[in-house]
Amino acid sequence: MPGIWIYSEDSTVARQLLTAGQELKKTTDQSVNVIAITDEAAQSLAGAGADKVYLLKGISAWPESYAGVIDELLKKEQASVVLIGATLRGKDVAAKVAAKLQAGLVTDALTVQFVNDAIETTRLMYGGLAICTEVVSLPALVTIPPRTFAEASETAGQGEIITVEVTNEDSRVVISNVCPIVREGADIATANRIVCVGRGLSKQEDMKLVEELAAACGAEIACTRGISEDYHWLPNDRYIGISGQKVKPELYIGMGISGQVQHVVGIRDAKIIVAIDTNEKAPIFEAADYGIVGDLYEVVPLLTAALQKK
C-alpha cells in the first residue's frame, strides 16, 4: 500500500520529519512509516506517532551502507513519498536510493505538500538568489534540512516496530578513524547574536576588533567563506553561507562583507541584520535592516564603545 516514509540516521531529525509526514497525511490519508537503524530511534519514533517502524539491523554501522537496503524496502512497500533528513549523510543516502528507484529527488526543500497527486516543493537555487517551486512525480523523494519542522511529541501513539535483519556490508569499503569534530567555542548555528567578519578586515591581527565587538554585545564570531577557507583566520565551521552554516540569530552584525548571495542565504533567518562596509553599493545593504557606510576600522571601535556603555 502506498505510504509516506521517513528516514534519518539522526533520530532528532527523524522526529522533525515525522511532523512533516503527519502534515502530508492530512491531505492524503496515507500511513506515515519510519525506517530506523538503531533500537533507540525505532522506540522513540514508534512512540512519536509513526504508524509502522522498520528497524533495519545490519552488521555495518556506517549509515550510508543502508542505502541499498532502504531502496529495496521502499520498492517493496510501494512508497509514494520519502522524506529524508538533509544531513550530509542523509543527502548521500537519498541520492543513491533515488537513483536505484529511478525516482526524482528534491534537495533541501523548504516546504513540501501534495498537489494533484504529485509532490510540490520549494527550494533555493542560484546560491539563494531565487526560490524555485518544483513538482515531483511519485514516488517522490525529498530531503528536508534539520530544524525545518518542530519535533513530533512523544505522546502521540505506539506504532508497530518490525525488525529486519539485513545485509549491508560492502567488502570494497572500509571505514576508519571516525572522529567527532571538536568545536572551538559555541555552535554559531544556534547562537543568539553573531558578529560576522568578511574580507574588509585587512589582516589577522585585526581580529581583535571583531573579538571586542563580540564581547561587548555577547555575540559569537562568524565569518564569510573567504576568511576561513582562503585566509584560515577562523575554523571552517565558522563560515556562513550556502555551503557553510545557516544561522538564525536575533542580531547579526556584518562588517567588511560585500554581501554576495552565497553568504546572504545563510543569514536570511536572522531577525535583525546590521551591515558595516565601505562600499555604499555593496549588496549587503540591500539585505540589511540597518547599515553604516564607512571604514570598519573607524566604525567598529565606536560601536564597541557605545555598546560597552549600555
Residues 176-195 that bind another protein (CB under 8 A): 176-181, 193
Q: Single out the segment in contact with another protein by CB under 8 A; choices: 12-20, 29-37, 158-166, 287-295.
A: 287-295
* 169 lies in the site for another protein, by CB under 8 A: no
* 52 lies in the site for another protein, by CB under 8 A: no
- Give dist(CA 168, CA 308) in Å, integer: 58
Cα dihedral 103, 149, 243, 291 in deg (nearest 10): 140
Sheet holding 160-165, edge to edge: 104-106, 140-144, 81-85, 3-7, 31-36, 52-57, 160-165
The alpha carbon of 200 is separated from its chain's Cα centroid by a whole number of angstroms, namely 28
Interface mask toward another protein for 90-129; x: CB under 8 A? -xxxxxxxxxx-xxxxxxx-----------x---xxxxxx
Query: Using the rule CB under 8 A, which residue among 59, 61, 132, 162 binds another protein?
Result: 132
Reduced to 3 states, what is the DSSP secondary structure of residue 249?
Answer: coil
Residue closer to another protein by CB (options 55, 247) is: 247
* 150 lies in the site for another protein, by CB under 8 A: no
Cell of 104: 526524482
Q: Single out the segment in contact with another protein by CB under 8 A; choices: 28-36, 40-48, 75-83, 264-272.
A: 264-272
Residue closer to another protein by CB (options 120, 206) is: 120
Residue closer to another protein by CB (options 162, 306) is: 306
Q: What kind and span of H or E run contains 275?
A: strand 272-277
**Sign of the C-alpha dihedral computed for residues 145, 149, 150 and 153 taken in this order:** negative
